[in-house]
Amino acid sequence: MGDATPATGAKRLAFLTAGLPCAGTASPGPVPSRLPATPWVLAASYCFARSSPRLRRWLLRSPLFGKLLRDWHDHGGMRRPAKVLAVGMVLTACTFSVGFAGLPDWLRVAIACCGATGVGVILFVVPTVRPPAGPSVD
Q: What pLDDT shows up at residue 117? A: 92
119: in domain: yes
Distance CA 47, CA 97 (A): 30
The predicted-structure confidence for 40-68, as pLDDT tens digits, reads as follows 788 888 888 888 888 888 888 888 888 88
Mean pLDDT of 114-119: 90
The residue out of 33, 49, 76 marking a domain boundary is: 76
Q: How many domains in the chain? A: 2
DSSP string computed for 46-60: HHHHHH-HHHHHHHH
Go through the chain and tell me how many residues it has: 138
Within this chain, do residues 91 and 49 fall inside the same structural domain, yes or no? no
Verify that 61 and 100 share a domain, yes or no.
no
138 in a structural domain: no
Residue type, 35: L
Q: Check whether residue 72 and residue 83 sit in a common domain.
A: no
- Does residue 50 sit in the same domain as residue 115? no
Verify that 61 and 128 share a domain, yes or no. Answer: no
**Same domain? 67 vs 82:** no
Q: What is the domain range of residue 81?
A: 77-132
Q: What percent of the chain has pLDDT over 70?
A: 83
Neighbours of 95 (CB within 10 A): 13
The structure's pTM equals 0.65
Q: 52 and 22 share a domain?
A: yes
